[in-house]
């Protein structure tokens, strides 16, 4: 099987992709692709096989409360959402998705807001790519039930204890991972490529059911807002042979 990790940016120069080939007890990292265009990403994502999995570092949707507020504001007689119990505008619900709040305790920091920060430009690029994938016959399930799922490398690094953010640290933590010299050089010099590598590793965890999924109560929001998949602690070293592994959480 193959896993694909994509570190998406608002434009190609800061967008990277990494493919990992998996076999019995081993995995090999292909040379990272830097400066990925929409056409390259569409080819990679639409070419995933039944056994493959992709992890994309980008919000797959916006907070439901933010979408509702923008819809209300766009009308000929603009309205604005009500206030919370303390009389203040409930901006938190418009700023963060449910999945952002779920992942926060498992990450070094709260994810950026897709509605109130520059991250919205990245999400807009992904929204276009998702629409094009749908047109090509490759729909994306925002919960992550299909071959493409949303990931957050910072949370994965936190869960796996990768505090240095270096490719050598990953090699030490996952000795079964083969990284050819050209790939290692690019991973060591490009933060975008490094994050794409982490996303590709999380994609393997998703396939092994070692990431956190929404509860029944969270699933409806996740279908529109998206859902960040983050792995369980101490799962990285087991990914090459995912049997009898620690659970996600």
Residue 208 has pLDDT above 50, yes or no: yes
If pLDDT is split at 50, 70 and 90, which confidence band does 153 have?
very high
Q: What is the mean pLDDT of the chain?
A: 93
Surface-to-core class of residue 181, CB atoms within 10 Å of its CB (0-12 exposed, 13-18 middle, 19+ buried): exposed
Reported as a single tens digit per residue, the pLDDT across 68-84 is 888 888 878 877 776 55
Cα within 13 Å of Cα(90), Cβ side:
15
- pLDDT on residue 72: 83
Structure pTM?
0.93
Mean pLDDT of 35-62: 97
Mean pLDDT of 212-237: 96
Q: Which two tokens stand for residue 59?
A: 């919000």
Higher local confidence (pLDDT), 29 or 237? 29
Helix (H) or strand (E) holding 156: helix 153-160
Mean pLDDT of 131-141: 97
- pLDDT on residue 45: 98
Reported as a single tens digit per residue, the pLDDT across 189-201 is 999 999 999 999 9
If pLDDT is split at 50, 70 and 90, which confidence band does 242 have?
low
Residue 249 has pLDDT above 60, yes or no: no
- β-bridge mates for residue 33, sequence order: 17
If pLDDT is split at 50, 70 and 90, which confidence band does 248 have?
very low
Contact 29, 183 (CB under 8 A): yes
- pLDDT on residue 83: 59
Higher local confidence (pLDDT), 77 or 95? 95
């Amino acid at each position: 099987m193959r896993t694909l990790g994509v570190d998406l940016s608002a434009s190609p120069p800061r967008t990277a992709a990494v493919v990992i080939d998996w076999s019995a007890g081993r995995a090999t990292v292909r040379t990272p692709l830097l400066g990925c265009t929409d056409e390259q990403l569409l080819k990679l994502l639409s070419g995933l096989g039944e056994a493959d999995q992709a992890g994309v570092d980008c919000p797959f949707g916006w907070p439901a409360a933010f979408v509702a507020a923008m819809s209300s504001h766009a009308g000929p007689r603009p309205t604005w959402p009500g206030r919370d119990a303390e009389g203040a505008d409930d901006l938190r619900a418009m700023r963060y998705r449910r999945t952002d709040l779920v992942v926060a305790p498992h990450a070094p920091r709260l994810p950026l807001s897709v509605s109130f920060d520059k991250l919205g430009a990245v999400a807009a690029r992904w929204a276009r790519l998702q629409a094009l994938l749908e047109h090509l016959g490759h729909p994306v399930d925002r919960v992550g039930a299909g071959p493409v799922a949303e990931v957050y490398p910072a949370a994965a690094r936190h869960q796996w204890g990768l505090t240095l953010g270096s490719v050598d640290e990953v090699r030490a933590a996952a000795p079964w991972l083969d990284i050819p010299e050209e790939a290692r050089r690019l991973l060591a010099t490009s933060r975008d490529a490094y994050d794409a590598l982490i996303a590709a590793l999380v994609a393997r965890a998703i396939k092994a059911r070692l990431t956190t999924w929404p509860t029944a109560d969270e699933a409806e929001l996740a279908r529109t807002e998206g859902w960040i998949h983050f792995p369980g602690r101490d799962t990285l070293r087991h990914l090459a042979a995912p049997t009898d592994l620690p659970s996600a959480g």
